[in-house]
Amino acid sequence: MTTIRIFQVDAFTNQIFSGNPAAVCPLEDWLPDEVLLSIAAENNLSETAFVNVKSSPFLIRWFTPKIEVDLCGHATLASARIMFDEFLPDGTNQVIFDSKRGELKAIKIDNIIYLDFPRDTPKHLQPAKEINEALGFAPSSLLRGKDDFLCIFDDEETIRSITPNFDRLSKIDSRGVIVSAIGTNTDFVSRFFAPQTGISEDPVTGSSHTLLIPYWAEVLDKTRLTAYQCSERGGFLNCELLQNRVLIGGSSARYMDGELQLFHG
């Protein structure tokens, strides 16, 4: 029998039952990929992070209930919270992860953890009929980053009112589709749909802000921004554009500590 510690953290919120929940499983040795995917499917959260605590830097991988993904923000923030709380000396304010997207830093300032991620580059595209039909609305601008489409709309009310056709959305060739607009109480708002990866709507998506921050920093002519992802659970993000990186900051709330017991044979 193999026993694995498991934690659940709500990211980009300071209270449980909001923000984006992620599971974090610290490992001393990697398990087979099919076992990691099975654990993620059993957890049935948008992401489960696995962190090799014996490596330096800590090697991190992320799984949805269906696939492994190359980058995940909220599960990295959740992992950083567990590393600070459980595995690093008191007073440590930085943790470094190694990932398929390179080195990722998490910096703790008071109760906020800032993710230091590579910035994405939004590229303008012509309107796409399949995206318009899947969303039920035609965006004023359509852009594409490394992983996702970004659809810009005129106001926050439209973002909140979108009810996608997820079957059509799942056929679009991307990790997911971001919808965004200038916010009423924050600089911008967004939502993120990714049925292609088994997540109809992600509650709060750190990685999508690697594309959102450069876009809105240019539009609003400012490098420090506030953001709200207006999903049902919702979450706030403190954002900053650096030269080749972005900082994505948020609070976190620990919800659950436990153990997984994997029986062999």
Distance CA 138, CA 141 (A): 9
User: What DSSP designation does 195 have?
Assistant: G
Catalytic residue among 47, 130, 156, 259: 47
CB burial string 68-99: b at 16+ within 10 A, e below: bbebbbbbbbbbbbbbbeeebeeeeeebbbeb
Contacts of 110 (CB under 8 A, 6+ apart): none
What is the CA 28 to chain-centroid distance, rounded?
A: 24
CA distance linking residue 202 with residue 231, whole number of Å: 8
Query: Locate tokens 């620990």: which residue?
Result: 254
68 is catalytic: no
Is residue 115 within 8 Å of residue 73, measured between CB atoms?
yes
Burial tier of 33 (Cβ tally within 10 Å: 0-12, 13-18, 19+): exposed
Bridge partners, residue 109, by sequence: 112
CB 120 within 8 A of CB 81: no
Query: Which residues are part of the catalytic machinery?
Result: 47
